[in-house]
Amino acid sequence: MNYFILDEYDVIVIGAGHAGCEAGLASARMGHRTLMLSINLESVAMMACNPSIGGTGKGHLVREIDALGGEMGVNIDKAFIQSKMLNTAKGPAVHSLRAQADKAIYHEEMKQTLERQENLDLKQGEAVDLMVENGQVKGVILKTGAAYRAGAVILATGTFLRGKIFIGEWSYESGPNGLSPSVELAENLRKYGLTMRRFKTGTPARALGRTLDYDKMAEQPGDEKIVPFSFMNDELQRDQVSCWLTYTNENTHKVIRDNFSRSALFGGQIEGVGPRYCPSIEDKVNRFSDKERHQLFIEPEGLSTDEVYIQGMSSSLPEDVQVAFYQTILGLEHLKIVRPAYAIEYDSIDPLELKMTLEHRKIENLYCAGQFNGSSGYEEAAAQGLMAGINAALKLGGKEPFILDRSEAYIGVLIDDLVTKGTNEPYRIMTSRAEYRLVLRQDNADLRLTEKSYLAGLASEERYRRFLRTKEAAEKELERLSHTYVTPGEINGFLERNGSTPLQNRISLAELLKRPEMNYHLLEEIDPVRPELSQHSVTQLEVRIKYQGYITKQLQQIERFKKLENKKLYENFNYDEVDGLRIEARQKLNQLQPVSVGQASRISGVSPADINVLLIHLEKKRRRPAD
């Protein structure tokens, strides 16, 4: 197509959703002139589905994004209307923060952050093609004929690529929330050899809040003590709104079953694969026919709207059926739908075509992030966008890539799973996917990651100094508690009052704190002379002390894991040269070109026997020069 060069940038980001925002901010903050393109600027950081950030596993990602210097944690702290720590009845490894957002404020605050960011230009424009020369991306062409040259391009297209919406028997081309889809770009990406697939996701109806009867539902208030997402905030105070819990019933299920034939999901119109862990209500009723009810949450969409989100009831049934089954539910008998539920199908890439840096294997300096890579969720998208932005900036600066492995971050688990194992459905992070989750807690994300990001050039000086103060304060207090002793006579009365076993011998305060019924604030009664610590530092202390034995064991496991990760493999190596490898292993290794023996061991189709053959081959190559 004919085009004219309008300007030149270091990095161009296509898409301004959660992945695009983090990618653009990261590259700009690392000193590279960056352009962010969006079909419609109203879609900047748009919450097209649920009005929340975080949750089980996802909260870990947000904390890690924040620790690295990303924006999602900072932004939700500005925009939340309810905050809740999940899984508190379980151990700290699975504690996960979740916040309801005011969708309008979340969008507005992120858009302002982008507009004010030095080195970053935000522009409304539809990218329809790439400029690719000799296997290297050189820029982006817009629908208007304007073109921009660039050193690197990041694809963060979300669900816009050939987006198609399904509501019952009706379907039409559309991006999320009624925005225009991106059709030309999807077609043009194929000509560069990108393997595209069709995935599907869905969203529930939005209803008018005043038409619901909340007296018939169970109130779900936020936590009294608000824990910020961002490590840059010590505490937050805000009036919170409530969510509400109700359930489907047999009448609901009957309406849905009677209309299976009208569902786009069961009618065969949808070809894309949907997320297993977020099924539609018709899928739930079909797959779990023995369940008498399914829970759903009524979640406010914001303070300036009466729209509410019906969490847990996405659907592709027609509108008349939606009204019928929603109105069988307690509290929803007179519900009025403002926006109907729908399913959306879109194009995504096979993530096995990506390197650990999220750079494409076939096209140099082309990076991919978010739902385009086959993941689902705002948090997964933002994490990938951040890492793509960091790595694009580092490569343009001639620096080493920034890669987090599975023992360092949930972000490492997410990316390693996608690019090493691939996915046949929209991928969702879960705590069960992380082998080292006791070490990868959400509360210590800054201690794990901030220094790494600072050295890579993203985390600010202010963030780094704050991290150092937190780390030093916790370590000093741990040392003090370990060397401060109390005797039975001093504290047995205190222990009995608090339901704890009396002492026979003297004990350190650190040992005392290991008791399940003890906490740091409770010990103030017998330890009044103590430094003033932030709640974050207190949490670090308690977890390190109470779970010391388990953490030590996990660190030993990580040490063994690192041995295989540190055995690096050759770039663009021909595995046909390795005698003893099975044919499937050779094919997979040649295709994916793992960076380490550890990564090779996680590839589907590569057996432990193949890994032993590889290790022997590497040892022979290492010894060969000395022979």
Which among 225, 258, 254, 276 has a CA at the least distance from the CA of 97? Answer: 225
Which of 358, 325, 61 has the alpha carbon at shortest distance from 168? 325
Average pLDDT, the chain: 95
Predicted pLDDT of residue 224: 94
Backbone angles phi, psi at 595, to 5 degrees: -85, -15
State how beta strands 127-133 and 136-142 pair: antiparallel
In the prediction, which pLDDT does 468 show? 95
State the amino acid at position 590 in one-letter form: N
Q: What is the pLDDT of residues 584-616, one digit of tens each?
A: 999 999 999 999 999 999 999 999 999 999 999
Mean pLDDT throughout 1-28?
Answer: 96
The answer to whether residues 143 and 126 touch, using CB atoms and an 8 Å cutoff, is yes
For domain 466-554, give the CATH number.
1.10.10.1800
Mean pLDDT of 515-539: 92
The predicted model scores a pTM of 0.95
Q: Which residue bears the tokens 């619901």?
A: 212
Listing DSSP states for 128-171 in one string gives EEEEEETTEEEEEEETTSEEEEEEEEEE--TT-BT-EEEETTEE
Contacts with 400 (C-beta within 8 Å, 6 or more apart), sequence order:
394
Q: How far apart are CA 509 and CA 524, in angstroms?
A: 11
Contacts of 470 (CB under 8 A, 6+ apart): 231, 446, 447, 534, 536, 537, 540
Nearest to 113 by CA among 234, 228, 230: 230
CATH number of 567-626: 1.10.150.570
pLDDT for residue 568: 92
> What are the tens digits of pLDDT across the range 460-495?
999 999 999 999 999 999 999 999 999 999 999 999
The answer on pLDDT for 360 being more than 90 is yes
| Residues 53-98 pLDDT 10s | 999 999 999 999 999 999 999 999 999 999 999 999 999 999 999 9
Q: What is the pLDDT at residue 626?
A: 52
Structure confidence at residue 273 (pLDDT): 78
Task: Please give the pLDDT value at position 226.
Answer: 95
What residue segments make up the domains of the chain, in order of their start? 466-554, 567-626
Q: Please count the other Cβ atoms lying within 10 Å of the Cβ belonging to residue 540.
A: 24
Q: Say what the pLDDT of residue 25 is.
A: 98
Rounded CA-CA distance 405/335 in Å is 48
Model pLDDT, residue 625: 59
pLDDT by residue (tens digit) across 298-338? 999 999 999 999 999 999 999 999 999 999 999 999 999 99
pLDDT digits (tens, 9 = 90+) for 197-241: 999 999 999 999 999 999 999 999 999 999 999 999 988 999 999
Q: Which two tokens stand for residue 490?
A: 């001093």
The pLDDT of residue 623 is: 80
More confident residue, 139 or 270: 139
Q: How far apart are CA 176 and CA 370, in angstroms?
A: 15
Mean per-residue pLDDT for 148-167? Answer: 97
Element housing 558 (H / E): helix 548-565
Residues in a beta bridge with 153: 12, 366
Structure confidence at residue 627 as a pLDDT band (50, 70, 90)? very low
How many other C-beta atoms lie within 10 A of the C-beta of residue 295? 12
pLDDT for residue 274 is more than 80 = no
| 194 Cα distance to chain centroid | 24
Q: Which residues pair with 508 in a beta bridge?
A: 485
**CB 84, CB 222: distance < 8 Å:** yes
- Quick check: 458 pLDDT over 90? yes
pLDDT digits (tens, 9 = 90+) for 32-57: 999 999 999 999 999 999 999 999 99
Of 291-305, 537-551, 613-627, give the lowest mean pLDDT range: 613-627
